[in-house]
Amino acid sequence: MDFKTKFKISGQVLQNLFEGGNSPLSEHFLRWKLWSKWRDLMGTSIADMSEPVGYSDKKLYVYVKNPTMMHHMYFLKNNMVRKIQKDFHPHFINDIVFTLDRKKVPSSEIEKDKIKDSLSSILNKDRD
């Protein structure tokens, strides 16, 4: 039995499940994937001065390291949204909110509650 092939196929099934948007965990998977591809999507100059730090209601919260760069990125905002929609996922974000203060980002407690709710709903479906 070729376990390597079966593992690859299983991994592809899970990835397709998460990326398809049908799973309650797909939003969290896409968020993690966007974080990991930020440099590739935005380029070195933007990625060196910013990082995605939050996601809520199709808004991506991006921490920017200084006010000058934030001002510059504000003018690139529509292009950044289009780039993410085109090269990453067409319906993941509708807006980007830039911040110099990480406290303005929705709390991770809200995100933890969303993940718990997602996992609970999956587990409850499996029990039925």
pLDDT digits (tens, 9 = 90+) for 52-77: 988 888 999 999 999 999 999 999 99
3-state secondary structure of 10: helix
Answer yes or no: are the C-beta atoms of 126 and 29 closer than 8 Å: no
Mean of all residue pLDDT scores within the chain: 78
pTM (global) more than 0.75: no
Q: Is the pLDDT of residue 123 over 70?
A: no
- Is residue 24 within 8 A of residue 122, CB to CB? The reply is yes
User: Which DSSP string do the residues of 36-54 spell out, in sequence order?
Assistant: HHHHHHH-HHHHHHEEEEE
Q: Which residues pair with 39 in a beta bridge?
A: none
* Centroid of chain to Cα 93: 9
Quote the pLDDT of residue 102. Answer: 73
In CATH terms, the fold of domain 27-127 is GMP Synthetase; Chain A, domain 3 (3.30.300)
Alpha-carbon gap, residue 79 to 89, rounded angstroms: 14
Residues 6+ apart with CB under 8 A from 49: 64, 65, 66, 69, 73
Question: Tokens for 108?
Answer: 């991770």
